[in-house]
Amino acid sequence: MIRADVQSTVEARLIVERGEVVRMEMALRYFAADPLAVRALFVAEGGSTVEWHFARDLLREGRTRRVDDCMGEGDVRVWSAWSDDRPVVVLSLTSPDGSAALEIDMEEVRTFLDATEMLVPYDTEAVDVDSLLGRIFAVTS
């Protein structure tokens, strides 16, 4: 498995038919070499893993307003809501193979995004990769 620069395992609540909820772990992963994207990795029914890639800005902006990305192979929608008297981020994923709606605790999303911003600040994602890697290695040396 490739090591992410920032990885956080969060508890997600998969909303299934009739409003039933299935609790599951999901990994949020971020790589400085691909600074615009976040990857969400989870184990699907039957034990296979599923990984979705979407813009970090979707997760960031979805904490305060509904945002959509319908440009790739699947659709991603993100918005905030309340569930069990706590704020959550809802991640709706739709592909030709099906769809899923996941709730993630707002604080866990904020903590993950804060860690990604420490690695690659917002609005600097277009930085030359060689320069970025040089800064990262200088900090860890």
Specify the residue for token string 């704020």: 87
Q: How far apart are the first and last CA of the chain?
A: 24
Encode pLDDT of 43-56 as tens digits: 766 777 888 889 99
Residue with the larger pLDDT of the pair 115 and 75 = 115
Number of residues assigned to the chain: 141
Encode pLDDT of 113-130 as tens digits: 999 999 988 887 765 567
Encode pLDDT of 14-35 as tens digits: 887 777 788 888 999 999 989 9
- Given a contact cutoff of 8 angstroms between Cβ atoms, the answer to whether 99 and 118 are in contact is no
Greatest distance between any 2 Cα atoms in the chain: 53
